Chains A and B, each alone.
Chain A
Amino acid sequence: MEDKQYIDYVHTHAQKSSHITTLIWAFAVGGLICCVGQAFSDIFSAVLPNWEESKIAALVSMTMIFLGSFLTAIGVYDKIGVHAGGGSIVPITGFANSVVSPAMEFNKEGIVLGMMAKMFVVAGPIIVAGTVSSVLTGLIYWIVGLF
């Protein structure tokens, strides 16, 4: 049997994800997490009326990151992730999960060379992409502002 024929055979016969179920899970969990964020946003705006909007937004994401980290630490977030998939990866809590989970995993190799060094094995690309795009867009805005 040729290699290509075999690859086609495997692609047609391998079990596929049951799309509808995973999509419904992702939609429900993702939507729910966003509603929690909306609730914190409403509460903080009511309690801290003097704060500017961007500070409230930062406070909300810090709160969500705390929740994501805590659920990861007590071993709940990965169980949500098994069903929710994209629904628990894309919200900011998923970013917290991708920082805290390697930190916990590699803590066994010591605090400095294990936990601290490997904290960003999953989330590192996000920080790099964010920083690079912040510098590029900032430069573009600055150059455009010159004229």
Chain B
Amino acid sequence: MKVGNQTYLLDNNVYIQSAYSLAGPYEAKGNFREYYDAVMEDDEWKCKSHEMAEIQMQRFVIGECLSRVNVNPMDCDALMGGDLINQIVPTSFSARDFRTPFMGLYNACATFGEALAIGSTLVNGDFEKVVCCTSSHYATAERQYRYPLELGTQPTPESQWTVTGSGAVLLSKKPGDYPMVKGYTIGRVIDFGLSDPNNMGGAMAPAASNTIISHFRDTGRSPDYYDMIITGDLGRFGRETLHYLCKKEGYDLDNLNDCGSLVYSDKQKPGQGGSGAGCCSLVFAAYLYKKLLDKSLKKILFVPTGAMLSKDSALQGESIPGIAHAVIIERED
């Protein structure tokens, strides 16, 4: 059912039946270390290249997510997801090992939100089971967007650290004591003209504030309807900026949090925090899903954010547009 301009509330129950998370070696030392389902001992994972390691990560996460609830990949109606690498190779290549119908998605780091939105719509319709998975890897993203790994560059204080990790969820019609996707607000591409590729939090915050405010206007809810509003990878600065932008519009988000700011501990010094398509899916599958299962969180607004830049667009002087999708996840008492 469409509500307002951009928001859809689902009529049927779409359960998140299973989730699985795989964290890289540095993420495993971060704040959520006891929540990860599996941890990579090094970031090559016995693969020939980091790209192959990322393929292997997604394959592993999807396989474990399904086998945890004894679902055969052949029985799933669709597999969808994405990552940050050219032509979303890691996702597509990991999908060739499952004989599941596949849809590749790209919304930069907001891909997981896009996958949850589309997947829940399909399950709300005639689909039975849909798997959503995204991943990112520090070394592959560094090559994609920045410099060779061994180049002695100095990270600027605004920059974020791409999370090595992957998370998958299984959306299903099968009733049970699981969290449910209740609806979503699809974001617009918003560009306030920032062009510093190191400061992605600042570039994405306007998109996140636009989506969150549209969500509240469409649904008529207030921020305290949710136990937690959690964005994808704004980082510490982006999170503060988002808080400021929403406050200007009259929404005081006391329960605002950010996966990217939380994923690393204070002892690790990754600039503003984590980023990447795998950041929000990792934190969702590891931390948020478990908190929803044990009922310490009941209603969350999950807002993955993405910065839609490429190496060349930045060089050609384009500014960085941002996007954010808000997904409502609730569970029954």
A contacts, CB < 8 Å to B: 1, 3-4, 6-7, 9-10, 13-18, 22, 72-73, 75, 77-78, 80-85, 88-89, 94, 97-98, 100-102, 104-106, 108, 121-122
Contact B152 A10 (CB under 8 A): no
> Which one of A1, A7, A17, A80 contacts B152 once the chains associate, using CB atoms below 8 Å?
A80
Query: Which B residues are CB-close (under 8 A) to A100?
Result: 150
Query: Which B residues are CB-close (under 8 A) to A98?
Result: 151
Contact A78 B241 (CB under 8 A): no
- The stretch that binds A, out of B111-119, B153-161, B215-223, B325-333, is B153-161
B255 CB within 8 Å of chain A: no
Known: A16-B157, A85-B154. A105 touches B194 (CB 8 A): no
Interface of B is mostly: loop
Contact B149 A105 (CB under 8 A): yes
CB distance from B122 to the nearest CB of A (A): 36
Assembled-state Cα–Cα distance A72/B48 (Å)? 20
CB distance from A116 to the nearest CB of B (A): 15
Query: Which B residues are CB-close (under 8 A) to A75?
Result: 150
Contact A7 B194 (CB under 8 A): yes
- Report the nearest A residue to B245, measured CB to CB: A1
Known: A1-B248, A14-B237. A101 touches B154 (CB 8 A): no
Query: Which B residues are CB-close (under 8 A) to A84?
Result: 152, 154
Contact A105 B143 (CB under 8 A): yes
- Report the nearest B residue to A80, measured CB to CB: B152
B225 CB within 8 Å of chain A: no
Assembled-state Cα–Cα distance A18/B272 (Å)? 15
4 A-B pairs with the lowest CB-CB distances in the bound complex, closest first: A81-B152, A105-B148, A101-B150, A85-B154
Known: A13-B237, A14-B202. A88 touches B152 (CB 8 A): yes
Contact A77 B152 (CB under 8 A): yes
Contact A22 B152 (CB under 8 A): no
Assembled-state Cα–Cα distance A42/B75 (Å)? 74
Query: Which A residues are CB-close (under 8 A) to B48?
Result: 108
Assembled-state Cα–Cα distance A135/B143 (Å)? 34
> Which one of B143, B192, B245 contacts A3 once the chains associate, using CB atoms below 8 Å?
B192
- Report the nearest A residue to B158, measured CB to CB: A14
Query: Which A residues are CB-close (under 8 A) to B152?
Result: 72, 77-78, 80-82, 84, 88-89, 94, 97, 101
B176 CB within 8 Å of chain A: no
Query: Which B residues are CB-close (under 8 A) to A102?
Result: 148, 151
User: Besides the contacts A10-B199, A80-B152, A101-B150, what 15 more A-B pairs have beta carbons closer than 8 Å?
Assistant: A13-B241, A14-B202, A15-B237, A17-B156, A75-B150, A78-B149, A78-B150, A81-B151, A98-B151, A101-B147, A104-B148, A105-B149, A106-B148, A108-B48, A122-B147
Contact B241 A104 (CB under 8 A): no
Q: Which of B150, B154, B194, B202 has the most CB of A within 10 A?
A: B150
Query: Which A residues are CB-close (under 8 A) to B317?
Result: none
> Which one of B148, B192, B245, B248 contacts A122 once the chains associate, using CB atoms below 8 Å?
B148
Known: A10-B241, A13-B237, A14-B158. A3 touches B150 (CB 8 A): no
16 A-B pairs whose Cβ atoms sit less than 8 Å apart in the complex: A7-B192, A9-B244, A14-B202, A17-B156, A17-B157, A72-B152, A77-B150, A78-B150, A78-B152, A82-B153, A97-B150, A101-B151, A102-B148, A102-B151, A104-B149, A122-B151
Query: Which A residues are CB-close (under 8 A) to B154?
Result: 22, 81-85
- Report the nearest B residue to A104, measured CB to CB: B150
CB distance from B263 to the nearest CB of A (A): 18
B206 CB within 8 Å of chain A: yes
B87 CB within 8 Å of chain A: no
CB distance from B267 to the nearest CB of A (A): 16
B72 CB within 8 Å of chain A: no
Q: Which of A13, A22, A80, A106 has the most CB of B within 10 A?
A: A13
> Which one of A3, A9, A89, A101 contacts B149 once the chains associate, using CB atoms below 8 Å?
A101
